[in-house]
Amino acid sequence: MIDERLKDFATDRQKEIIDAVLEHGSGGKAATALGLNKATINRVIVAVERKAARQAYSPPHGWTNPVAEGFNASRISTNYRPDGTVGQQWVIATPDKDRQAIIMREGFEAMAEELPRQEPITHAYHTLSNLANVYTLTDSHVGMLAWHKENQDANGDWDLGIAEKTLTGCFEYMVNSAPAAGVGIVAQLGDFLHSDGLNAVTPTSGHLLDQDGRFPKVVRAAIRILRRVVNYALVRHEKVIVLLAEGNHDPASSVWLRAMFQALYEKEPRVTVIDSELPYYAYQHGKTMLCWHHGHLKKNDQLPLLFAGQFAKMWGETTKRYAHTGHRHHVEEKEHPAMKVMQHSTLAARDAYASRGGWMSERQCVAITYHKEFGEVARNTVTPEMLSI
């Protein structure tokens, strides 16, 4: 017989199978009733039992106190009495990153339901439907604190106020200097936030970060910047595509940013937020394929083959193909046999870590214009110094 409590660890389909086994008394009879193979029933039961065991529930082994949802049991120590019964038991739980990501995503989506929606914005300009402008903002590190004396740059200070002024100012400069394209793509390529939570550390390695202020202040500034950027693009373009990519500094924040901006612009039919949990993104503009990846998971040379496989249909329908990355904070461009890959620089100043490591690059952002048939046809570069003119 099967333990009915296993349903606490099962998906809806797995629960149906467990209920069938309980109702009919055996896996074979349940398989006949459901029109499945008995081996399939057995595989489902074993899978649920293994999942339950990872959460410290396996009565045959004396494990009867499962850990909370979103955690796994990393170590269990049991002290047995002479009669074989359990005397004491210690369960060490660690976060289940995959499950916690799902819980977090569901929470963000629920919170987004309460947000006031952005009312439609009037489009005031005549545009050319054959053109799409890609405005790249990458590695903005909103919330980072940099001091000019540490990076030996007279303009090397960076904090929340400077970030907001620089990012919005440079974006407007890019839009104003670019052709009047029908499509405007706000390509926020990851690491928009310097840290990913209340602790100012990198998410994976736990390295300490120089952060300007509390995380709630950073979140508010990030939202203000992105809303202003998207709204300005709406005034200039008939259609706006918003990409909020995952970076290595803000993998969790990219989740709530996507959920929030999908909700914020729910009433605005001219805005499309790219909804992808996979950190590889693509958009088709006629025969031109535009792709993005922050750059933290794959090297630039690996991207053409990856995008060809991940977006095979789009690849086959296009003749001009471009991939954009960030992550490394400096410009690098290479033309491969079937795709050009461009690595973008950052507008942010160097923090102490980058300065001590000797990493330097020109701070800039680029607006690139693509034609439906001919691919790239124009490019405009903006630097922070241009804002003082």
Quick one: 39 and 105 in the same domain?
no
Quick one: 314 and 234 in the same domain?
yes
User: Tokens standing for 216?
Assistant: 């709630």
Count of structural domains within the chain: 2
Quick one: 39 and 108 in the same domain?
no
In a domain, 316, yes or no: yes
> What CA–CA distance (Å, rounded) separates 367 from 379?
6
Amino acid identity, residue 212?
D
Residue 312: domain span: 99-388
pLDDT of residue 113: 62
In a domain, 306, yes or no: yes
pLDDT of residue 103: 56
Helices 215-236 & 160-177 angle (0-180, nearest 10): 10
In a domain, 62, yes or no: no
Write the burial class of residue 109 (CB in 10 Å: 0-12 exposed, 13-18 middle, 19+ buried).
middle
Quick one: 49 and 105 in the same domain?
no
In a domain, 75, yes or no: no
∠374-282-107 over CA atoms, to 5°?
Answer: 155
> What CA–CA distance (Å, rounded) separates 351 from 375?
36
pLDDT of residue 148: 94
pLDDT of residue 198: 79
In a domain, 229, yes or no: yes
| Residue with the two structure tokens 């008394």 | 25
pLDDT digits (tens, 9 = 90+) for 288-320: 999 999 999 999 999 999 999 999 999 999 999
CATH of the domain at 176: 3.60.21.10
Quick one: 355 and 240 in the same domain?
yes
Task: Tell me the average confidence (pLDDT) per consecutive run of 10 residues in the chain, 389 residues long.
Answer: 86 90 90 90 90 87 80 82 84 71 59 69 86 98 95 92 96 96 98 89 85 88 94 95 97 91 92 95 98 97 98 98 97 96 97 90 96 98 90
| Residue with the two structure tokens 């193979």 | 37
Q: Strand 128-137 to strand 365-371: parallel, antiparallel, or no bridges (unpaired)?
A: antiparallel
pLDDT of residue 101: 61
Quick one: 48 and 155 in the same domain?
no
Give the containing element (helix H, strand E) for 20: helix 12-24
Tell me if residue 3 falls in helix, strand or coil.
coil
Quick one: 40 and 106 in the same domain?
no
Radius of gyration for the alpha carbons in the chain, expressed in angstroms and rounded: 26
In a domain, 155, yes or no: yes
User: Tokens standing for 243?
Assistant: 């990409």
pLDDT of residue 389: 64
Quick one: 357 and 268 in the same domain?
yes
pLDDT of residue 137: 98
Quick one: 382 and 257 in the same domain?
yes
User: Tokens standing for 111?
Assistant: 């919170």
Quick one: 173 and 280 in the same domain?
yes
In a domain, 93, yes or no: no
pLDDT of residue 190: 97
In a domain, 161, yes or no: yes
Quick one: 15 and 119 in the same domain?
no
Quick one: 22 and 105 in the same domain?
no
Give the count of alpha carbons within 13 A of 374, CB side only: 8
